[in-house]
Structure 1
Amino acid sequence: MLTDLRTDHLPAVPAGAVVVVGSGAAGIALATALAGAGRDVVLLESGGDVADPTAVDRGAALNGGTADALPYEGLDVGRARVLGGTTQLWHGQCMRLHPVDLAERSWVPRSGWPLTPQDLDPWYAAAERFLDVSGRGYGEDRWADFPRLAPVPWDGSRLRHDFTEYMRRPYLGTEHRDALAASPHVRVVVEATATRVLLDDAGRAAGVEVALPGGGRAELRAAEVVLAAGTLENARLLQLSDPAGVGLGDGREHTGRYLQDHPIIRTGEVLAPDFRVLQDRYVVLRKDGRRLFPKVRLAPEAQEREQLLDATAVFVHEHDHPGLRAAHELGRAVRARRLPAGALRTAATAATALGPVAHAAYRRAAHGLPLGARPSHVWLQLWVEQAPDPARRVVLDRDRLDPHGQPRARVTWTCDDEELRTTRTMSRWVAEDLERLGVGRVRPLPAQTDDDAWRRTVTDAAHPAGTTRMATTARDGVVGTDLQVHGVPGLSVVGGSVFPTSGYANPTLTVVALALRLAARLLPGA
């Protein structure tokens, strides 16, 4: 059943149903798992139906806020209010967090998950099945899929290889809409913006308040509520539910704090006598219908030895030929099953590069290799972990209201000396190895040598995490290892917001793993 509140009334909540706020990766995975085991779910989505081509643009009016330190793209362009959530924007890269990311590290304050890799492994495997990821690993051994490519032999005491694997069908709203709408155990409600969590007199969850598109409010009563609305919105909803604007539960003072993202910085241009050495290896590769992206990572022992954060380096190959860029745009549109505006003009531009495109098609079909044309530039670009810092946070901005009259989010996001030192150290090591191996040399950009240039240039990856962090007790976090809010029975939170630390891995696979783990707890008899 799918209800649009612009034209229909809120559906009745079945006895014993779970109300899930948010229909992104976490919400869809959770609803699918619960419904598959026979538990009723009401899945609330603030935005519209993914089948409505205007939904994403309409939902954007509810996003936004103020960034009062560094600019923060995660507030706007990194979020989508629509059935499927931000998965309707992403490319589908998946990777597990590394054991070092979960460990308590003496050189990273407030690090350490209250879950072990062994706790997460079965749920990672379940998430890989749900997302149709091969589950064949993300490390050096994936080079075996490409026997024609000898990996670059980095100094293994400092640098290693990792791979991310792309989902074949990454747009979860598009992929799961019809099944969710047809399920006898799921009631999908779109255009339904949750405005606060309702509590009973005993302080346990009692449902949610929903803003109606035509104005006014309605209440959905339920004894089990899950916030799965994304890192920024999960924190904001807890704050909106507290008249003091702090949060709910025994660990409320942590709500909105410890905001992390993945700072991205270009530190140099790679000048290589043979461009194919890097271009053949460090762009998206294809094998058996799957897409893999090789990357360079910091070795865990190097992180400990030099007291660095986790980080990865990629080589960004830039092509100036407009036909090649147009062909790439069309390829993405085909995978997304939607044509871009001006598709005919884009196709005509792509036709100007028929020779290179045909050559690339042969390389991909025959060997899984990338485009063979010489790039105009190859940039060394780093993604780095952030240490949890309570000063980086999300709060309510009572001076700026959204269309429902609710305070928008105000974000304080900064990048500190440890991120800067990590990116510079890794950049130097990559440059030294490229020169030692005769692959090329790196011409440093100003960000590699000038602190002000680094801070002007760094951006976020729109991978927010940490604002309702998981901890064994309320002294250190908002939710427990079972993802229930400390001191509020019946209220759980799932998503990147519960990550104590976030490594550098794309977060969605871990988000889905945690959602499936939560579903197992919420099943009758669990």
Structure 2
Amino acid sequence: MLIEGTESLFDKTWNVCVIGAGPVGITAALELASNGQHVLLLESGVMEPDPSIQELSDATLVNRCSHADLSIAVQRSFGGTSNLWGAACIPLDPIDFESRPTVTGATWPISYDDFACYLPDACEYAQCGMPQFQASIDGMPKGSSEFRSDGLVRYSQKPNFGRAYEEAIRSSAMIDVRLGVTVTEPHFSESGIVEALTVVDRSGNRGLVRAQVFLVACGGVETARLLLSGQISAPLRFGGDDGPLGRGYMGHLSGQLAEIEMFNASFDKGMDFFRPEGGAYARRRLVASRDIQLEESLTNIAFWPVTPEFGDPAHRDAILSLAYLVLTYPPLGRLVVSEAIRQFNVGNREIARLPHVVNLIRGFPSAVCFLPPFLYRRLVAQPRLPGLHLRNPGRRYALHYNAEHLPNPNSRIQLDSRRDPTGCHRAAINLQFSRSDAEPVVRAHSMLADWLSKNRLGNLIWRCPKEQQVDYVLEHARDGVHQIGTARMAATPQDGVVDENCCAFGSRNLYVAGSAVFPTSGHANPTLSAIALAVRTSRHIASRLSKLPRVASAKAKCMLVGIGVTEATFKFEHLLGC
């Protein structure tokens, strides 16, 4: 069932209440239902974006230069940020789960194998093809101890989870979705069990939602914001102001410090979009190996070639100018790429269209030939082409990087004094990047340049002098789309917010799903890994709940049919052995 509003919402107790209907929340709901659990899925938004609902995500940005505006970083609607993302699916690496000298203050309490066994399920939910993330290029060095050219990104064939799973959810007898319902406050018992949630709908109706288990899956910022609201009545919950909640907020460092000139035609072709076994599009990345990361104290990083900067008309390319002109008109640009990617390519410069129009006129025949097949492959064909990459005879491209952001306790989310229309405190976001983040990025580029030269594959052309490179990386460091680490997983409550099963410390019926639980960021886009962990957590919850009916207790039976908050909490604590 999928309806809007709070009608009959307060009349029963669900097995599991999932907060947030983005890709992680939808995955969790489907997985829980397939394991026999009745699920309530709450979504603040409705089927289509609504500015009045979206405004609830507005936050105070301490540094607007480092963090994307929340209007393009998140979306409150059914499907969540899957309405915005670029559909890139790539998992965390084994080294991300290791203890490393370069990464301090955060350690995964699970192994890579504990995580990776759920990747086949995650790929199925994401519809990105086979769970295979390496594919070599003919003629490239094999077994290199420095860099690999076979790191594979797969792209979701149906990236909008709302559209992909709407029918399955509507027809499910195990899933009840409520749209336009915003969670404003969790209510905890003295022992830490979540008794209920206060929710409000678009008409202002408020009430308490009850469930045996609550799973928060509403993004890194909103997850921290909701849990922080639980500290208002109990300042020491989750370690208090000095505790881990909201701290260590990470994204990724990304940008273009150099251009790459490729000497090898196979190398050039091998870095383009292609369709491997499994049907979905994929693309390779150059990845720093585990050996070189450990030997040279590098953070995790990946590189790939991209077209020259669209906005600079000096490229004199009609197709690039056409792409830029499309992106400068938001309604057209949003049909082709996400708003975050559109803004990245348009940039902050003053839009000057005339030089691009001149380029387009000069190369009009080539642009006319290019546009229809590209639009068909991008907007109509299934699977759709994930993006635009134009190879050129000179084999020269901008070299994009995506690099690990180190956990920093001063990079954090707190509650602001301002309140949203529901009365909740807004988030105050202070996303910080430091020289410790940028210096390994510069060193990795230098080592990549040496590797390319040694193997006669190409060379790098730097965008600034060596002494300015760290500052250049920091100047371009900006995220807020990949919201990582705000409720991180750890072995102890001193080091994290949730345990190895993503259950909140001190609250045995409160779980967290999503990249908020990642202790480290790696270089990978976080969505696929977040989905894999959501499958893992959902199965843990389902297994735990499946044991409850075996408890022969009149009190337990009362709890299962829904009773008053305090009494229900007592029964659930009894069943869990609290």
> Normalization by structure 1: what TM-score?
0.85
Aligned residue in 2 for 1:345: none
1:132 and 1:350, CA in 2 relative to 1: closer, same or farther beyond 3 A? Answer: farther
Residues 1:257 and 2:285 are matched in the alignment: no
- 3-state DSSP class of the match of 1:214? coil
Query: Higher mean Cα deviation, 412-421 or 213-222?
Result: 213-222
- The 5 Å alignment of 1:50-449 reads 52=48, 55=49, 57-69=51-63, 70-73=65-68, 75-139=70-134, 142-143=135-136, 150=138, 152-153=140-141, 156-161=144-149, 162-243=151-232, 248-249=237-238, 253-271=243-261, 279-287=268-276, 289-318=279-308, 320-322=317-319, 325=323, 333=335, 353-356=367-370, 371-372=390-391, 378-398=397-417, 400-446=418-464, 449=467
User: In the TM superposition, what whole-angstrom CA distance separates every residue of 1:306-358 from its partner, at most 9, and x where no partner exists?
Assistant: 1111111121113642486389989995899xxx9xxxxxxxx9986243458
Q: Which runs of 5+ in 2 are unaligned?
A: 311-316, 343-362, 548-578
Q: Distance in 2 between matches of 1:332 and 1:80?
A: 14
Contact 1:207 1:224 in 2 (8 A): no
Contact 1:59 1:80 in 2 (8 A): no
Deviation at 1:2, TM superposition (A): 1.5
User: In the TM superposition, what whole-angstrom CA distance separates every residue of 1:3-29 from its partner, at most 9, and x where no partner exists?
Assistant: 212xx6352454442111101121111
Query: Higher mean Cα deviation, 284-293 or 112-121?
Result: 284-293
Q: Output the amino acid matched with 1:230.
A: G
User: In the TM superposition, what whole-angstrom CA distance separates every residue of 1:466-521 from its partner, at most 9, and x where no partner exists?
Assistant: 11111122121111112111111211111111111121111111111111111112
- 3-state DSSP class of the match of 1:32? helix
Contact 1:48 1:81 in 2 (8 A): yes
Q: Output the amino acid matched with 1:81.
A: R
Query: Higher mean Cα deviation, 311-320 or 436-445?
Result: 436-445
Q: Distance in 2 between matches of 1:34 and 1:479?
A: 19
1:315 and 1:474, CA in 2 relative to 1: closer, same or farther beyond 3 A? Answer: same
Select which of 509, 515, 526 maps to 2:528: 509
Q: Distance in 2 between matches of 1:356 and 1:376?
A: 19
Deviation at 1:445, TM superposition (A): 1.5
Q: Distance in 1 between matches of 2:502 and 2:318?
A: 49
Q: Distance in 2 between matches of 1:155 and 1:443?
A: 26
Query: Higher mean Cα deviation, 320-329 or 152-161?
Result: 320-329
- 3-state DSSP class of the match of 2:523? coil
Aligned residue in 1 for 2:313: none
Equivalenced residue count is 499
Deviation at 1:104, TM superposition (A): 1.1
Contact 1:279 1:370 in 2 (8 A): no
1:98 and 1:452, CA in 2 relative to 1: closer, same or farther beyond 3 A? Answer: closer
1:358 and 1:239, CA in 2 relative to 1: closer, same or farther beyond 3 A? Answer: closer
Q: Which runs of 5+ in 1 are unaligned?
A: 144-148, 341-348
User: In the TM superposition, what whole-angstrom CA distance separates every residue of 1:353-412 from its partner, at most 9, and x where no partner exists?
Assistant: 2434589899999xx9975555897212211112221111000111x3223232211111
Q: Distance in 2 between matches of 1:154 and 1:122?
A: 26
Q: Distance in 2 between matches of 1:92 and 1:447?
A: 35
Contact 1:266 1:379 in 2 (8 A): yes
Deviation at 1:303, TM superposition (A): 0.8
Q: Distance in 2 between matches of 1:277 and 1:371?
A: 15
Q: Distance in 2 between matches of 1:246 and 1:381?
A: 43
Aligned residue in 1 for 2:347: none
Aligned residue in 2 for 1:343: none
> Normalization by structure 2: what TM-score?
0.78
Aligned residue in 2 for 1:30: 28
- 3-state DSSP class of the match of 1:104? coil
Q: Output the amino acid matched with 1:441.
A: N
- 3-state DSSP class of the match of 2:260? strand
Contact 1:268 1:442 in 2 (8 A): yes
